[in-house]
Structure 1
Amino acid sequence: MSTAPTRFTVAEIANRFGLEVRGDPSLVISGVGTLAAAQPDQISFLANARYRSQLATSTAGAVVVRKGETATGSGSAPTWLVAADPYVAFARIAALFDRGSAPSPGVHPSAIIAATARIADSASIGPFCVIEERAIVEDGAELGAHCHIGPDCRVGAQSRLYPRATLVTRVCLGKRVLVHSGAVLGADGFGLAFDSDHWIKVPQLGGVRIGDDCEIGANTTIDRGALEDTVLEEDVRLDNQIQVAHNVMIGAHTAIAGCAAIAGSTRIGRNCLIGGGAGIIGHLTIADRVTITAMSLVTHSIREAGEYSSGTPIQESRLWRRNAARFKHLDELARNVADNKKGHRND
């Protein structure tokens, strides 16, 4: 496999992604970087106005900017590529310089494969993988070292599981799914029934269905359903250390940041954004195009698109303690205000 560096001219990049060039189209680009650290042979981007001042000192050879950008840098004055959305354009450009290499097809000698499992000839099975009964690994799929694929699971074509990812049972991955290390899909849902003085475990008989082009972050857990499946539609993106409970359904193109927790049987719509550390209690419905800000606690269904928040922003500790003490008297204050208004009306 060749290790020669990847290089493109600005003109080649612009033509590939439909960008307008302002500056030197013959400039050769060999990598990407931030405005603060990029070198003269690298390309960067300006998508957030807070970083505009860095243009003046950036040594990047080229910068992706939004149409209408007028700021100029001093010194080298980089070549610009103009895009409707600089961040999206930069993401596509950066992929050109991703030097990750595809593994060779085949099964490592240390892997353990059940007799009823089916492995496509073009799949790559890494060291010490375990693939159990009736599991299927489709064309071009890649399993990193120590992955465990349980019974009746399916790994879709061109999907990639990083080392130590686990599919427990009845998990179906669509095409081009990424599952990062430590993720566990298809474990028991937290189903319990209390019988007088002890808990009875409710069997979790469903599975997990993951749509095409989804990404599951490291150490994220998605529990299988009690009777029906837990479902992620296509192009759902989950960050690290997220808990998705049994029978949850997440609509297409929704993205959820790290450490969020979603309780059982919740329905989340399409094109939603859920911030880090947010919590959603069970059996709720979240409409399409809802944004939930970080650390919010969702205790009731959200029926209309929009941005929703709860909790309080950080404050200096003494001020926070005073406000917390006053919060205890909020109901009393509201009643007093209501009584005063009633008294004024009677007057």
Structure 2
Amino acid sequence: MRFNHFHLDELAQLVQGELVGQSDLVLKGLSSLEQAQPHHIAFVIGDKYLKEALNSKAGALIISAELQSQLPNHKNFIIVPNPYLAFAILTHSFEIKVTVRGIERTAQISPSAIIADDAYIGHYVVIGEDCVVGNNTIIQSHVKIDDGVELGKDCFIDSHVTLTGQAKIGDRVRIHANTVIGGEGFGFASYQGKWNRIAQLGSVRIGNDVRIGSNCSVDRGALDDTILENGVIIDNLVQIAHNVHVGENTAMAAKCGIAGSTTIGKNCIFAGGVGVVGHIKIADKVTVTGMSMVSKSISEAGSYSSGTGQFETNQWKRTVVRLRQLADVPLTKLVKKIDHMQAQIESIESTLKSRK
């Protein structure tokens, strides 16, 4: 296995940070503060990690300027305004990348497909008619690319991915194992007790710098296209139904499910397990907390939640009983009780005032 190593001054240049200490110190990887060894570099993102930093064996630390004086037992630093961002940048330097290029002999490629000379096509890949694979794109083994699919440059398509429905995929897109892009949307018309399949005639359009995790489904549109705009990031096990439109730089954590024809704005964050009903619109800069159900449109930015908070089991059971009892009481009766209580309170307050 190949390992990358760098001098400390090289890493400082990559993140445009200030170097303090031994410029030619050789570092062979990134590590957590707890697990770091002298050949590792680690990062510190706040005061709450100072204890771990003081005890860390890391050869160098990525820190902010205000923390340096609080770590007297360390001598080698890269000082930056945002240590976490610097860490993110350096992960690309230590990442083991696919360097081989060309087409493996077991791949099956239609003569009408256009494959860039510096692309890599792995073993048992199948590429259909009129497909396009852009410069420096990596396609791992057992990927299936159906007719008319187009891939931009610098993409990474992991093993056992299926790209179909004449999907159009931009530059620097990463799609991880077992994901299906452009599969048939869930469209049926009910008539006389039977479901009648609606052929899905749209496609999928994915912008630049999009990341899609493993075991996801992004369905093609029924008529119009399903769209993921630039910078969208999607975790594993996410379902995006037909005709959904996801705005730029929106992020979805694992097990989110987005029903059809929903429009989601830019810079939104959906935590794990969020469900969204179909045919609604969600504004820009909306955060939805974990396991929430979005049942209607959201027109203003902000944080939204639904569901019931965690209880101890017996308390939860008692709460459910009370909720059921409350549901059995007509609303008009509740309103009358509240009005009666309000009148009693006002009467008592009036009596107390008169006695003064």
Q: TM-score, structure 1 length as denominator?
A: 0.92
* Residue number in structure 2 paired with 1:77: 74
Whole-Å separation in 1 of the counterparts to 2:207 and 2:83? 28
Match of 1:249 among 216, 222, 245: 245
> Is structure 2 residue 207 aligned with structure 1 residue 211?
yes
* Deviation of 1:328 (Å): 2.4
Whole-Å separation in 2 of the counterparts to 1:52 and 1:322? 44
Deviations 1:158-185 (A, max 9, x none): 2111111100221111011111110000
> Is structure 2 residue 148 aligned with structure 1 residue 152?
yes
- Shift in alpha-carbon separation, 1:23–1:310, aligned structure 2, 3 A: farther
> Is structure 2 residue 178 aligned with structure 1 residue 185?
no
* Deviation of 1:197 (Å): 1.5
Gaps of 5+ in 1: none
Does structure 2 retain, via aligned residues, the 8 Å contact 1:58–1:73?
no
Whole-Å separation in 2 of the counterparts to 1:312 and 1:59? 44
* Residue number in structure 2 paired with 1:231: 227
> Is structure 2 residue 83 aligned with structure 1 residue 86?
yes
* Residue number in structure 2 paired with 1:29: 27
* Residue number in structure 1 paired with 2:351: none
Superposition map of 1:159-308 within 5 A = 159-308=155-304
Match of 1:46 among 32, 44, 47: 44
Gaps of 5+ in 2: 348-356
Does structure 2 retain, via aligned residues, the 8 Å contact 1:46–1:52?
yes
Whole-Å separation in 2 of the counterparts to 1:317 and 1:71? 49
- 2:6 is aligned with what amino acid? F
Superposition map of 1:93-132 within 5 A = 93-105=90-102, 107-132=103-128
* Deviation of 1:198 (Å): 0.3
* Deviation of 1:67 (Å): 4.3
Does structure 2 retain, via aligned residues, the 8 Å contact 1:52–1:71?
no
* Residue number in structure 1 paired with 2:353: none
Does structure 2 retain, via aligned residues, the 8 Å contact 1:59–1:78?
no
Whole-Å separation in 2 of the counterparts to 1:140 and 1:29? 28
- Shift in alpha-carbon separation, 1:313–1:51, aligned structure 2, 3 A: farther
Does structure 2 retain, via aligned residues, the 8 Å contact 1:273–1:291?
yes
Whole-Å separation in 2 of the counterparts to 1:108 and 1:315? 56
Deviates further, 83-92 or 217-226: 83-92
Whole-Å separation in 2 of the counterparts to 1:294 and 1:41? 38
Whole-Å separation in 2 of the counterparts to 1:162 and 1:79? 38
Deviations 1:216-271 (A, max 9, x none): 11110000000010000011111111000000011111111111100001111111
* Deviation of 1:322 (Å): 1.8
- 1:94 is aligned with what amino acid? T
Whole-Å separation in 1 of the counterparts to 2:309 and 2:76? 41
* Deviation of 1:122 (Å): 2.0
Whole-Å separation in 1 of the counterparts to 2:92 and 2:250? 22
Deviations 1:41-86 (A, max 9, x none): 2111122655443123111122222343367357x42533232222
Whole-Å separation in 2 of the counterparts to 1:281 and 1:53? 46
Q: TM-score, structure 2 length as denominator?
A: 0.89
| Higher share of residues assigned helix | 2
